[in-house]
Amino acid sequence: MRTIWIVRHMHRQDTGNPHWRTQATYPDDPDLSPQGHEQAQRLGQFFENHPLDHIFSSPFLRAISTAWPVAQRQQLPIKLENGLGEFLNIETFPTPPQRHDRTTIAQRFPLIDPDYQSRLTPVFPEEDLAAIARASQVAAQLVQEFPGNLLMVGHGASVWGATWGIVPDHPEIQCDLGAIIEIRQTPTGWELLRAGDTSYLRN
């Protein structure tokens, strides 16, 4: 039976350094903080016991950095999927967010899949329900299109949406930074086994 994993990105660079945005070339696209990078390494260790077939990530840098240790340990490409990206609300982003360019990302993360084409691109600006709906749509499509065990790395709204796109009845989840959602296929459908586990970060 298949397992779908959905993970929210780790601790952000700008959270740990409130002055970072004033000096940043891409203030809407922070990396992880040192704490966040350590958390991402723990995520990589966690998935050593859970083999994957495909890794999908939001194109924002903090999500890619979260997925990177997993990709390195399993030697899998990272497919950048816009549909898993940040909630594009106008209160946070007065203008469409500027992200690091694809060439820079590929140089830093050589396991980025150069051939993957994003299945969905959000329209700016978004309402919260629209962000959840597009993440639901793209997660359901990825599960249909790609066989085996999948990992999707996103943000708060897209983790909620992706979960609801796979598991019926809109289950409650915890969506703290680094939270792991585990969804297992059963003979009758999909079962939510972990609803936002962060215990691996405390071990």
Sign of CA dihedral 111, 86, 173, 184: negative
Rounded Cα distance between 33 and 175, Å, is: 19
Sign of CA dihedral 151, 59, 143, 138: positive
Q: What is the pTM of this model?
A: 0.97
- Domain segments of the chain: what residues? 3-201
Residue 100 corresponds to which tokens in the numbers above?
């690091």
Q: Does the bond joining 110 to the residue before it have cis omega, within 30 degrees of 0?
A: no
Per-residue pLDDT of the chain (203 residues; tens, 9 = 90+): 899 999 999 999 998 787 888 889 999 999 999 999 999 999 999 999 999 999 999 999 999 999 999 999 999 999 999 999 999 999 999 999 999 999 999 999 999 999 999 999 999 999 999 999 999 999 999 999 999 999 999 999 999 999 999 999 999 999 999 999 999 999 999 999 999 999 999 86
User: Which CATH architecture group holds 3-201?
Assistant: 3-Layer(aba) Sandwich (3.40)
